[in-house]
Amino acid sequence: MSAGVGEADGLPVGSLICPEPGERPDLWSWTTLRRPDGELEIGGVAASVLAREFGTPAFVLDRADLAGRAQVWATAMAEEFWEGYGMAGGDAFYAGKAFLCSDVVRVVSQAGMGIDTASLGELTLALRAGADPAMVGLHGNNKLDEEIELALSAGEGAGIARIFVDSLGEVEQIAAVARRLGTRARVMVRLKTGIHAGGNEYIATSHEDQKFGVSVADGSALEVVAAISARPELELLGFHNHIGSQILGTEAFVAAVRVVLEFRARVEREFGLATPEVDLGGGVGIAYTGVDAAPTPVIEVVRAIAAAVREVCGELGTSIPRVSVEPGRSVVGPTTVTLYRVGAIKDVTLEGGGVRRYVSVDGGMSDNIRPALYGAQYTATLANRLSGEAPVRCRVVGKHCESGDIVVHDVDLPADVRTGDLLAVPATGAYGYAMASNYNLLAKPVVVACEGGRASVVVRRQSMEHLLELDVQ
Ligand SMILES: *Cc1c(COP(=O)(O)O)cnc(C)c1O
């Protein structure tokens, strides 16, 4: 569906400037800019045009930016793990849970990425959108038989690339489904390595008390390997470890490489089982606000992983495996802004003096739960105009019946911010729409992809009819 707006709306063509004068550009997608008339534009389409044509709140996805980020990941993995450099190949799988729709599947697939899924819904959508089953994975700590069945029967019975085994019980579950379908399953074992990372920090022996994976330390991972090797229906591809989220720097990834490869070498020694692959998960961080540390460039992360793989395999005297990664946030997070319409505004006197201006918008925790869920910080800017007014301290809040319904905790907005203005919140592409709910029976927003002056709906706004469809009258 293409509305073709933006190209003929008579507004001057934007100049290539950072949308906020003097602000860092990495908060905004590559084609987001401030037009000479003061409007924010994304993919060549002005904010006011988007609001008029598609309504608010709206997730606005910069498609060229998404294609670019997906290409960076796919190319970096292919190049740094190239056979010509003595490596065994590398792949990047997009973690679909960050945000999945058919358009995103097509864009990231075309850029050379595979897709990782974690439910029947995600797997069905990815396959329906045309993802190559040979580049699709299935995760989950509590897989349903139906999910495994679809995974093994996709691609005319050839099955998807890999299923990640998360527990001992799952070995028999997957084998039973494979037996029933008369096929074999390619599996990787999700390891609990003790390494946990986020921000600049990582811990090498984090608590084992969480639900994902099987422990290297207590021997459960070896038990799972033994069970897999006893099942003719299962082919063990290798080992997986996802160490966390919003990770800066490369040290944590390097530490994970060592633990995973040492485990792989142990399996080879003790079981005579050589495994061809390892997967190092996702977790590369992005910037959400102007005070966040600069994210580590993808190429630096990939090079650090490649160097560590080479070094550790050399030390252990093992073959070099094919290496994959599963970035989600760093692929889709920075591609998208949420456009909101400003409604009620009120000034609140703070304890100890001072005033905070509460600026309400027409969405909130139903389209972005991250501030309420993890205290995530965002920023916002006026999208329909520039203002010369002095800034005032604002809190952007939603329209839900929760005082924790905050979109942006603290942001300076011009003092003349008023009802009817448009606000843009950057970096909402990952875990925004994907975690959206119908709290207070708000309809889920529209997702619009902009590129080259054209805007297309890629996920329709939920209608009142759809919203009430399940209610039994
Ligand atoms: C969530 C998740 C990812 C993606 O994480 P990002 O922080 O979005 O890059 C990758 N792999 C697994 C197993 C995950 O659960």
Each residue's pLDDT tens digit, 143-167: 999 999 999 999 999 999 999 999 9
Cα 95 to ligand 1 centroid, rounded to whole Å: 6
Q: How many CA atoms lie within 13 A of 413 on its CB side?
A: 29
Cα 377 to ligand 1 centroid, rounded to whole Å: 20
Cα 25 to ligand 1 centroid, rounded to whole Å: 25
pTM of the model: 0.95
In three-state secondary structure terms, 258 is helix
Atom of ligand 1 nearest to the CA of 240: 13
Spatial neighbors of 318 by CB under 8 A, at least 6 apart, are 261, 264, 265, 268
Q: Is 94 exposed, middle or buried (0-12, 13-18, 19+ CB in 10 A)?
A: buried
Cα 245 to ligand 1 centroid, rounded to whole Å: 7
Query: Phi and psi dihedrals of 2, rounded to 5?
Result: -130, 125
| DSSP at 335 | G
Confidence class for position 371, pLDDT limits 50, 70, 90: very high
Pocket test for ligand 1, best of 91, 162, 242 (most atoms within 8 A of CB): 242
The catalytic residue among 18, 313, 394, 401 is: 401
Each residue's pLDDT tens digit, 14-73: 334 456 655 677 889 999 999 999 999 999 999 999 999 999 999 999 999 999 999 999
Pocket test for ligand 1, best of 240, 243, 326, 428 (most atoms within 8 A of CB): 326
CA nearest ligand 1 atom 7, residue: 283
Nearest to 188 by CA among 94, 260, 243, 255: 260
> Which residue is it, tokens 């970035």?
327
- How many beta carbons lie within 10 A of that of residue 142, not counting itself? 10
Residue 42: its H or E element = strand 40-42
Distance CA 326, CA 202 (A): 19
In three-state secondary structure terms, 59 is strand
Residues 126/359, Cβ–Cβ less than 8 Å: no
Spatial neighbors of 408 by CB under 8 A, at least 6 apart, are 371, 377, 378, 379, 380, 394, 395, 396, 425
Cα 272 to ligand 1 centroid, rounded to whole Å: 31
Q: What is the pLDDT of residue 21?
A: 57
Residues in the chain: 473
401 is catalytic: yes
Exposure string for 68-81, b = 16+ CB within 10 A, e = fewer: bbbbbbbbbbebbb
Q: What is the pLDDT of residue 11?
A: 34
Q: What is the pLDDT of residue 4?
A: 35
| DSSP at 98 | G
Residues 171/165, Cβ–Cβ less than 8 Å: yes
Distance CA 321, CA 352 (A): 61
Confidence class for position 242, pLDDT limits 50, 70, 90: very high
Ligand 1 pocket, CB under 6 A: 95, 97-98, 139, 242, 245, 281-284, 326-330, 430
